[in-house]
Amino acid sequence: MNLKKYNWWMVSALTLIPIIGIFGTVLYSYQNGIVWQEPLLFILGWWFAGMGITFGYHRLFAHRSFKAHPIIQFIALIFGSAAIQNSVIKWSSDHRVHHRKLDTEEDPYSITKGFWHAHIGWILEKKDSQIKGVKDLQNNKLLQWQHKHYFKIAITVSFLLPMMLGSIYGRPFGGLLWGGFLKLTLVHHFTFFINSLCHYAGKKTFDPTTTARDSWWVAFFTFGEGYHNYHHKFQWDYRNGVSWYAFDPGKWSIKFLSWFGLTKDIRTVSEYHILMARLEGMKNSMQANYTSLPEKIKLNYQIKLNNFYDNASKIVELWKEVEKDFNELKRSKITNKFQLNILKQKRKLYRTEFAGIIHGFTAIMISIKSGNYSF
Ligand SMILES: [Zn+2]
Ligand SMILES: [Zn+2]
């Protein structure tokens, strides 16, 4: 082990924070009891810092998947600073490289260098902190200010604030432990899990060619960020959990604020693109299972799959036209209910037809896996 490659200040900080956060809080609570304000400080602190990262650092600044009013930008970067994960400019620089150079030598938290490296090892290593590919963010006055004063802002909101709140009810040290150290331990490691676990365990629904995976239970602890295979496939989409039932508070808050004009120009990927990506993903992973099949059966399946795929492509072309008409209708601002209903019916029909194709694909996949080739 090459000890010289580590930044020992960083190693000490990231070792002490969870030790104080977990053991310090347990010991303090054992000796002084727990008052209701402290778990509340912890939950709120975790929520605000985590949302600052998800909503602000990640989706607003790094990916620009929507625009936000300067007040919202300010709140997001203050909340995000409490997560102590560096300034928006530095964070986004690393994150954009992660997307551009995924799974290569240049990926700052590449899983190909192991789980530990992707989780925390990359932060502990001594390296030149180059900032690149974030000119747009470097031109933002608010972000320049945060970058310049990052350390002071982060310490104030992450540690001093919960300590001050603790002193209101007479326990500054309790506030610091629950709302500062314990909160930070969880915020840190759950964010780190997105880089490690989400490139390690879960489903590759939309793109089987990358290491990124969808994991609903990581999403549950990371404000929706666990749907990482989808995110790597469509990084500009403001949603990570794309299904309506997916747990994604990041997505909900962006949408909610848009009703008040505080967020706008929200970017989404069209439904037919998403369905097509899912189909392509299924096709690719099925072909990986082909090799062991007898030649005749392989050919039979191939024909069936190609037919399904051709039908899907035809539906997508028709669907595109419908969406174009939808947009034109919206732009014209004339409410033509009859035409709108026809378009809605068409969209519904294509959705159903697509579901049938995905069903057919799934049936073939099951028959290949089970070795029952009667399909
Ligand atoms: Zn990733
Ligand atoms: Zn991202």
Q: 253 C-alpha to center of ligand 1: Å?
A: 22
Pairwise CA distance, residues 334 & 345, whole Å:
19
Counting ligands in written order, the one closest to the CA of 237 is 2
| Percentage with pLDDT > 90 across the chain | 79
3-class DSSP assignment, residue 263: strand
Beta-bridged to residue 203, according to DSSP, are 214
Q: How far is CA 168 from the centre of its chain?
A: 36
- Whether residue 375 has pLDDT greater than 60: no
Confidence grade of residue 374 (pLDDT, cut at 50, 70, 90): low
Q: 211 C-alpha to center of ligand 1: Å?
A: 8
Mean pLDDT, to the nearest integer, of 201-205? 92
Pairwise CA distance, residues 115 & 145, whole Å:
34
Q: 95 C-alpha to center of ligand 2: Å?
A: 6
Q: 225 C-alpha to center of ligand 2: Å?
A: 9
- Whether residue 67 has pLDDT greater than 80: yes
Q: Are 200 and 208 in contact (CB under 8 A)?
A: no
User: Which residues of the chain does CATH 1.20.58 include?
Assistant: 271-370
Q: What is the pLDDT of residues 108-153, one digit of tens each?
A: 999 999 999 999 999 999 887 789 999 999 999 999 999 999 999 9
Q: 231 C-alpha to center of ligand 2: Å?
A: 6
Identify the CATH class of 271-370: mainly alpha
Counting ligands in written order, the one closest to the CA of 196 is 1
Note the maximum CA span of the chain: 78
Q: 247 C-alpha to center of ligand 1: Å?
A: 18
3-class DSSP assignment, residue 7: coil
Query: Which pLDDT belongs to residue 371?
Result: 75
**pTM value surpassing 0.85:** yes
CA angle 205, 199, 56 (to 5 degrees): 90
